[in-house]
Amino acid sequence: MEKRVVWRSSWLPYALVAPQIVITIVFFFWPASQAVWQSMLLQDAFAANVQFVWFDNFVELFRDPRYLASFRVTAVFSVLVTVIGLSLALLLATFADRVVRGGGLYKTLLIWPYSVAAAVAAVLWVFLLNPTLGVLTHVLRAMGVEWNYLLNARHALILIVVAAVWKQISYNFLFFLAGLQSIPRSLIEAAAIDGAGPGRRFWTVVFPLLSPTTFFLLVVNVVYAFFDTFAIVDASTAGGPVDATTILVYKVWRDGTQALDLGSSNAQSVVLMLIVITLTVIQFRFIERKVNY
Amino acid sequence: MVERRPLFAVASHLILIAGVAIVALPLYVAFVASTLSFDQVTTVPMPMLPGAEAINNYATVLEHGSGLASRAPVERMMWNSLVMALVIAIGKITISMLSAFAIVYFRFPLRRTFFWLIFVTLMLPVEVRIFPTYKVVSDLGLIDTYAGLTLPLIASATATFLFRQFFLTVPEELAEAARIDGAGPMRFFRDVLFPLSRTNIAALFVIMFIYGWNQYLWPLLITTQENMYTVVIGIKRMMAGGDQATEWQLVMATAMLALLPPGIIVIAMQRWFVKGLVDAEK
């Protein structure tokens, strides 16, 4: 779609796009190209010795068992965050869509976690699940569970999953609710007249019609789990115990700041960049299809 | 509801109430903790009803921070967060509106190139270019400045797309009429497009304000002095002293202060918030 009526000026359009383009080049393209360039360099912490090594950093990276372990942790983490987050949100949205009274109130009460910073969400859950004085730790202990996320790798992973799911629930809920409300009532009524109960109607009519929303949320949640959860990890487990919760974005940061291994850190950045590009392409191809559909 | 099933309706409400309760639990416990004394917070189990230390705790963090770990006053941090959120929200909206206007209403060489340059930034989140971006900012001498905190986050492909989509739906007749009346492009932008975009601006403002207020990784790298900390970073620093040194009642008071402004904006501007969220993903 293009405008027929346009203005003509030899300089004005350039002046209008200039602020955005300058910021984009200085803070996006230049650093990103530096990351790609440096991912092929071997340098010590003070950049005194620099050597061009082609793809050695990448080869090294994929030979490093700790990097592969971080990949596994990220995979498990993002699957858990996505599956649990989507299921809970879908459950709540389905019932919020059904209730006649109070739907708006429930909506208001469920959307506010969106406004909580990921780091703050992590701190709130760290407090609830603190090994010595957490309120939930006390409840768990009464049930016979010796909860300690500082020592137990599985507990640490559960902690970051819970915080990440909690933070994302409003987003998923809102999109599911909007999706449910756009399903024509007549279809559901027709199924009811044919004798299908609520459960049957959900699985054979509502759920298939909701699949565009579900697929969209699937991609968004994977991106969220991969990239937006840095704050959650840093403010709660700091990647520990040992490397049990060191997800990929956290490892990039730690290898750059603490291990001072810039070549490897930049190689990791490039790998992450390829992952984002893949996910963005999937998302856009899908959205194009949805428009035609 | 298609058929009447009273029991089912009751069950629906119960499930929703359980959901709301689980979602609200961390907030409630944090609020209670922020009103207790140090001794009360460290008893196991902690009291589940608000105590009497609320004013004391909030006044302490606002003016002196948490005594044991970080002495930076939260007042200052709240101010830094506010500046950061406002500059990012307003800045993003301004530069995206201008570039979308240029791309939609002008024909000029490189128009497509610029559009793609902006589009590709979607694929370069801060997390994947942390250190090189840090180096650019430090070479420009912007460490510990508001410019350093905000400028690198101000370019937004999402907002530009949103305004582009919206401008494309504005009827051609408006631009034609403006031209016949002798208005130049900037006059048309100010008197026609800007007023028409108000709802879009409000919706984006809510989303971008929250985005700016809640930033973590970037301020963590760019702020080295306590007087430049944002409140989200401040909370993390308060816990840096380890378990013994953490004054949880003060950390929780700070957490409550940190989540209040974006929380109020989401609840008060709920309609625009939902619109912004849905539009931003198109």
Which of A14, A23, A28 is the best substitution to test chain B (most B C-beta atoms within 10 A)? A28
Q: Residue ranges of the domains in chain B?
A: 6-64, 74-280
How many domains does one find in chain A?
Answer: 1
Q: Can you tell me the distance from the alpha carbon of A14 to that of A74, in angstroms, rounded to the nearest whole number? A: 42
Per-residue H/E/C for A223-292: HHHHHCCHHHHHHCCCCCCCCCCCCHHHHHHHHHHCCCCHHHHHHHHHHHHHHHHHHHHHHHHHHHHHHH
pLDDT over 70 at B245, yes or no: no
Asked if the model's pLDDT at residue B89 lies above 90, the reply is: yes
Report yes or no on A23 lying in a domain.
no
Residue A48: the pLDDT is 64
Mean of pLDDT values over B35-57: 80
> Across all residues in chain B, what is the average pLDDT?
85
Contact A31 B129 (CB under 8 A): yes
A162, A252 in Cβ contact below 8 A? no
H-helix or E-strand spanning residue A41: strand A41-43
SS (H, E, C) B132-149: HHHHHHHHCCCCCCHHHH
Q: Which of A5, A133, A169 sits opposite B172 (nearest CB)?
A: A5
> In B, which residues are within 8 Å of A229 by CB distance?
none
- B133, B185, B262: residue with CB nearest A115: B262
Q: What ipTM does this complex have?
A: 0.87
Which of B25, B128, B142 is best to mutate for the A interface (most A CBs within 10 A)? Answer: B128
- pLDDT for res A89: 94
The residue with tokens 């530096």 is A34
Residue in B122, B130, B282 nearest the CB of A280 = B122
Residue A207's contacts (CB-CB under 8 Å, 6 or more residues apart) are none
Alpha-carbon distance values, B100 to A269, B69, B104, B160 (Å): 30, 47, 6, 6
Which two structure tokens, joined as six digits, stand for B259? 């989540």
pLDDT tens digits, B217-243: 889 888 888 888 888 888 888 876 565
Report the gap between the CA of B255 and the closest CA in chain A (Å): 6
Is the residue at A248 inside a domain? yes
Residue type at position B265: I
Residue type (1 letter), A182:
S
**Which residue type, as a one-letter code, is found at position B262?**
P
Which residues in chain A touch residue B243, judged by CB atoms under 8 angstroms apart?
Answer: 130, 132
Half-sphere exposure of A259 (CA within 13 A, CB side): 14
Give the range of the structural domain holding residue A267, as residue numbers without chain letter.
Answer: 60-292
> What is the average per-residue pLDDT within B181-201?
89
What residues of chain A, 60 to 99, have a C-beta less than 8 Å from chain B?
Answer: 88, 91-92, 95-96, 98-99
Strand ranges for B78-162 from DSSP E: none
- In terms of Cβ atoms closer than 10 Å to its own Cβ (0-12, 13-18, 19+), residue A63 is exposed
Sort A4 into a burial class: Cβ within 10 Å, 0-12 / 13-18 / 19+: exposed
Residue of chain B nearest A13, judged by CA positions: B102
What is the separation of C-alpha A114 from the centre of its chain, rounded to a whole number of angstroms? 13
CA distances from A145 to A131, A138, A140, B48, B51 (A): 11, 9, 5, 21, 29
Which positions ≥6 away from A275 have C-beta within 8 Å? Answer: A226
**A190 — contact with chain B (CB < 8 Å)?**
no
Task: Tell me the CATH architecture of domain B74-280.
Answer: Orthogonal Bundle (1.10)
Q: Is residue A50 in some structural domain?
A: no
Burial code (b: 16+ CB inside 10 Å, e: under 16) for A142-176 equals: eeeeebbbeebbebbbbbbbbbbbbbbbbbbbbbb
Residue with tokens 């460290």: B42
pLDDT at B242: 60
Q: How far apart are CA A67 and CA A243, in angstroms?
A: 10
A28 part of a folded domain: no
Cα A63 to the center of its chain, rounded Å: 26
Distance, in Å, from the CA atom of A227 to the CA atom of A179, rounded to the nearest integer, reads 25
Distance of alpha carbon B144 from alpha carbon B223, whole angstroms: 5
CB atoms within 10 A of CB A239: 21
- Mean pLDDT of the B18-45 span: 86
Angle at B138 (CA atoms; ends B134, B142), nearest 5 degrees: 110
The tens place of each residue's pLDDT in chain A, 293 residues long, gives: 677 767 888 888 899 989 999 999 888 888 888 888 878 777 665 666 677 777 777 877 888 888 888 889 999 999 999 999 999 999 999 888 888 777 788 888 888 888 899 999 999 999 888 888 888 888 888 888 888 888 888 889 999 999 999 999 999 999 999 888 888 888 888 888 888 888 888 888 888 888 888 888 888 899 889 888 899 999 888 877 888 888 888 888 888 777 677 777 888 888 888 888 888 888 777 665 554 33
Distance (Å, whole) CA B184 – CA A179: 42
Radius of gyration of chain A (CA): 24
For residue A33, give both structure tokens.
């190209």
Would you state the pLDDT for residue B249?
Answer: 84
In a domain, A254, yes or no: yes
A252 touches chain B (CB under 8 A): yes
Q: How confident is the model at residue B3 (pLDDT cuts 50, 70, 90)?
A: low
Helices (H), A112-152: 118-128, 135-142
The candidate with the shortest Cα–Cα distance to B226, out of B69, B102, B108, B111, is B69
Q: How far is CA A171 from CA A18, A71, A87, A88, B20, in A?
A: 33, 26, 13, 12, 15
* Residue reference for tokens 């956290």: A250
What's the token pair of residue A39? 């991912």
Q: What is the DSSP letter of A183?
A: S
Would A15 be classed as within a structural domain?
no
Residue A206 lies in a domain: yes
**CATH number of the domain residue A136 falls in:** 1.10.3720.10
Cβ pair B124:A230 closer than 8 A: no
Is position A183 within any domain?
yes
Q: Which of A126, A105, A161, A152 is nearest to B17 (CA)?
A: A105
pLDDT, tens only, B136-164 = 888 888 888 898 889 888 887 888 888 99
B229, B219 Cβ separation under 8 angstroms: yes
pTM over 0.80? The answer is yes
The residue of chain A with its CA nearest to that of B28 is A124
Is the pLDDT assigned to residue B109 strictly greater than 80? yes
